Amino acid sequence: MTQNLSPILQAADLPALIQSEKIILIDATNSKNAKENYAKRHLKGTLFVDLNTQLADIKSDLSEGGRHPLPTLDNFSKTLAELGISPASHVVIYDETNGSNAAARFWWMLKAVGHEKAQVLDGGLEEAERHGFPVTEGIETAAKTELYPIERWILPIADLAEVEAVSTNPSHLVIDVRDHDRYLGKTEPIDLVAGHIPGAVNVPYSENLDEQGFLLSPEELQTKYQGIFDGKDSENIIVHCGSGVTACHTLLAIASAGLEIPKLYVGSWSEWSRNDMPMATG
């Protein structure tokens, strides 16, 4: 049954779900004053997870892994234990960007260590509140559990060398999910250099959402990404963004469509642009 669990949870289903089984709710918002805002207002029972300290291992040299490299398996195991997450836990995650930022990253990381019951809450806090889920303030305390058993990342990951080798190969596909102006090189608000990886195609992650900010239906997403993939196998498709975070929203959308999850280039543009690699604009 868990193998068929949708990666997306509709907010209307949350109140009944939390009555039927123990759910671990996570606020993974990544923004200025995120934890302070969480303390002021969050869904009742929700724990907070921090992208920079718990879902990444940020190094002083961003040319090694970019802005948000993955944490070590040992550290991620400790983070899950501190949140009370065991292999049997049902984890529901939201953030303030309708799941398109660190909520999707945390979902991908859970799936990447083999966790079965992980979902992103469509519409986030506001939509759950609209459906009657209680909101509260303060800091929630987790019931810590044993270290989560992790052997390896089981979802496919690409590194800089692989991206360099295949980015212009017509049998492969590199997808850049950043907004169009960043891809074109017209602007770069975060990293040092503007532009994109030669050969990469631009499919902004924001286009996974409808006008109300909800994820498109599985049918719409399947049609969209089957057209983009053009018959290529998932093993020949690499998805990246600025630092390996919002790319996970596209991987979430692809999973919601019932398609195989392609490779994530974790270092993304933040690593590529700091390594004297070829770059393109326009």
**Length of the chain counted residue by residue:** 282
For 118, half-sphere exposure in the C-beta direction (CA atoms, 13 angstrom radius) is: 22
pLDDT at residue 96, rounded to an integer: 94
pLDDT at residue 2, rounded to an integer: 39
End-to-end Cα, the chain, rounded Å: 46
CA-wise closest residue to 122 among 209, 16, 21, 31: 209
Nearby residues of 16 by Cβ (< 8 Å), 6 or more positions away: none
Active site residue 248: no
Q: In whole angstroms, what is the distance from residue 59 CA to residue 69 CA? A: 8
CA-wise closest residue to 265 among 70, 95, 58: 70
Q: In whole angstroms, what is the distance from residue 51 CA to residue 57 CA? A: 9
Bridge-based pairing state of the strands 173-176 and 237-240: parallel
pLDDT at residue 3, rounded to an integer: 47
pLDDT at residue 100, rounded to an integer: 86
pTM: 0.97
pLDDT at residue 1, rounded to an integer: 31
Per residue of the chain (282 residues), give pLDDT as tens: 334 799 999 999 999 999 999 999 999 999 999 999 999 999 999 999 999 999 999 999 999 999 999 999 999 999 999 999 999 999 999 999 988 899 999 999 999 999 999 999 999 999 999 999 999 999 999 999 999 999 999 999 999 999 999 999 999 999 999 999 999 999 999 999 999 999 999 999 999 999 999 999 999 999 999 999 999 999 999 999 999 999 999 999 999 999 999 999 999 999 999 999 999 999
Residue in 241, 248, 252, 254 annotated catalytic: 241
Domains of the chain, with CATH numbers? Answer: 2-136 (3.40.250.10), 157-272 (3.40.250.10)
Angle at 99 between CA 2 and CA 200, to 5 degrees: 100
